[in-house]
């Protein structure tokens, strides 16, 4: 019995050792896997940060594109880049300091983010510009404003707290005016800096003013921070802001630097300013918009140009491509071939700019959804005409309305196999397509559920049952649609307050 027991014990020990080694190996592989996955995610994030394209003047391109809807910002940017004036205009960009101490590269240092989607380079620049603008208006150190944002929201643009505070500066809803988008970076920073300014008026001491901003005037009513036992968050808040201030100061310059020397003033007389660049871009966009309107009209535009352009497989709409052709710089005016080469260069440059900024390359989408977008994108800049358009295209000499653009795009994407009803409400209620989001308020929609090419139906009038508007989702929280009389087929953001208050139904075709 003793020998058998020893033998049994020996076998058991060996088995335990083997099992131990196997377990060690498993957990080693497990932990290595965790580390590897963590490293991979970090590398992917770094790669994404490095790949995001810094686009000089993008805020101007977007501003002017809003004024001339038939000229997309990336096409205007491409025309600008290929112009003889671009190198001279870059002086203005190189001299830019954010007007209040931020270099353009600060945008790549701060970890801006949405809760669910990437943040574009333009939105970063817009945020810094808003910090500069409203800090200056309210006589606040802009680096302090940035530090408050870091302490309040960690740069999460659509952040919200259990107490109801919203956006980058975690502003309470009662501080906004009716109809304002609380999460719009410009509006949020405007209201947040106003709130901090009111705290400074009550408490000139910065530390106490910060406590007021975090906890409200009642938290510092005796002109002192509350104790850590009573209100630890407000007690520690100024220290958190000052730590963020020290971090941000490492890659910023002093606030609102001024140099009043005569030599500096003389030297600045010949400098190109952003105002000069904006004026040039506005003139160029107006020229393109006027030409696009003519070239989109089959009775007035150049048939030769349209025929040539339609064979070139461009992303740009035909009318816009012909407009680009006609305003080509002098160096391309040597021959038709050179001018069409210029059009190709503008188109490819515009695509690179759009993809580099986190946008969607409309004619490069995948699957059926990509084909829907490509069909709609072909008519970008075409006028809205109530009751106009159909499955074969816009009304001759006219255009589309919202539902006919969708009817056309789905019909063309399917090769003529799928014909939707003519009216938006009938499209929404038909059995065609798969419903992916059903009757949700826009503010409640998770954009992760949407795919490029999905069709969004909107109930814009609660007192009148039914869906009365429709657009095609193109990604990046945007849609392409024919909006209303007096407007044109264009890409629109879905993040403004108007769409957030409407009921949505989302369908996926194909």
pLDDT band at 81 (very low <50, low <70, confident <90, very high): confident
Q: Is the CB of residue 405 less than 8 Å from the CB of residue 376?
A: yes
Which pLDDT score is estimated for 38?
A: 39
Number of CB atoms found within 10 A of residue 221's CB: 11
User: Quick check: 156 pLDDT over 90?
Assistant: no
Average pLDDT of the residues in 131-145:
87
β-partners of residue 80 are none
For residue 468, the number of C-alpha atoms closer than 13 Å in the C-beta half-sphere is: 12
Q: What is the dihedral of CA 63, 67, 68, 74, to 10 degrees?
A: 10
Higher pLDDT, 463 or 329: 329
pLDDT band at 168 (very low <50, low <70, confident <90, very high): very high
C-alpha span between 430 and 427 (Å, rounded) = 5
CATH architecture entry for 365-508: Alpha-Beta Complex (3.90)
Which pLDDT score is estimated for 91?
A: 62
Average pLDDT of the residues in 357-366:
44
Which pLDDT score is estimated for 283?
A: 96
Tokens of 272: 């190109």
Domain boundaries, the chain: 98-249, 365-508
Burial of 144 (0-12, 13-18, 19+ CB in 10 A): buried
CATH architecture entry for 98-249: Orthogonal Bundle (1.10)
Q: What is the dihedral of CA 434, 436, 441, 442, to 10 degrees?
A: -100
Q: Which has the minimum average pLDDT: 252-256, 272-276, 453-457, 466-470?
A: 252-256
Percent of the chain at pLDDT > 90 equals: 32
3-state secondary structure 269-281: CCCCCHHHHHHHH
Which pLDDT score is estimated for 220?
A: 93
380-400 per-position pLDDT tens digit:
888 899 999 999 888 876 789
């Amino acid at each position: 019995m003793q020998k058998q027991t020893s033998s049994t014990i020996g076998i058991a020990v060996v088995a335990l050792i083997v099992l131990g080694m196997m377990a060690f190996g498993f957990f080693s592989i497990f932990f290595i896997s965790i580390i590897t996955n963590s490293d991979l995610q970090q590398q992917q994030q770094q790669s994404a940060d490095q790949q995001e394209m810094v686009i000089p003047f993008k805020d101007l391109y977007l501003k002017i594109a809003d004024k001339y809807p038939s000229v997309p910002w990336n096409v205007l940017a491409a025309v600008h880049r290929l112009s003889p004036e671009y190198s001279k205009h870059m002086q203005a960009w190189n001299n830019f300091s954010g007007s209040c101490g931020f270099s353009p590269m600060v945008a790549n240092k701060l970890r801006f983010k949405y809760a669910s989607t990437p943040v574009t380079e333009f939105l970063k620049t817009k945020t810094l510009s808003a910090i500069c603008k409203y800090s200056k208006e309210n006589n606040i150190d802009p680096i302090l404003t940035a530090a408050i944002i870091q302490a309040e929201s960690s740069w999460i643009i659509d952040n919200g707290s259990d107490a109801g505070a919203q956006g980058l500066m975690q502003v309470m809803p009662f501080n906004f005016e009716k109809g304002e988008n609380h999460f719009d970076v410009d509006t949020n920073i405007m209201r947040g800096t106003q709130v901090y300014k009111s705290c400074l008026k009550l408490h000139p001491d910065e530390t106490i003013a910060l406590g007021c901003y975090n906890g409200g005037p009642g938290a510092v009513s005796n002109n002192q921070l509350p104790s850590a036992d009573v209100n630890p968050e407000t007690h520690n808040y100024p220290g958190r802001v000052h730590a963020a201030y020290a971090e941000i100061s490492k890659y910023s310059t002093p606030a609102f630097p001024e140099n009043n020397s005569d030599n500096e003033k003389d030297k600045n007389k010949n400098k190109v300013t952003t105002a000069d660049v904006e004026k040039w871009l506005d003139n160029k966009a107006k020229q393109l918009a006027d030409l696009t309107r003519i070239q989109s009209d089959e009775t007035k535009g150049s048939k030769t140009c349209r025929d040539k352009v339609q064979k070139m497989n461009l992303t740009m709409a035909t009318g816009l491509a012909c407009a680009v052709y006609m305003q080509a710089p002098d160096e391309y005016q040597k021959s038709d071939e050179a001018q069409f080469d210029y059009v190709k260069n503008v188109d490819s440059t515009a695509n690179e700019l759009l993809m580099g900024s986190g946008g969607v390359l409309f004619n490069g989408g995948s699957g059926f959804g990509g084909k829907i977008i490509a069909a709609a994108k072909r008519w970008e800049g075409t006028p809205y005409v109530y009751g106009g358009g159909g499955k074969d295209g816009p009304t001759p000499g006219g255009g589309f309305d919202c539902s006919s653009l969708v009817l056309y795009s789905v019909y063309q994407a399917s090769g003529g196999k799928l014909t939707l009803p003519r009216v938006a409400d009938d499209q929404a209620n038909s059995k065609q397509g798969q419903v992916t989001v059903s009757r949700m308020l826009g503010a409640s929609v998770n954009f992760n559920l949407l795919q490029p090419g999905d069709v969004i139906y909107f109930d814009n009038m609660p007192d009148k049952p039914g869906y009365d508007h429709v657009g095609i989702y193109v990604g990046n929280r945007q849609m392409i649609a024919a909006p209303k009389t007096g407007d044109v087929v264009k890409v629109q953001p879905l993040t403004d307050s108007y769409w957030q208050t409407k009921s949505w139904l989302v369908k996926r075709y194909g």
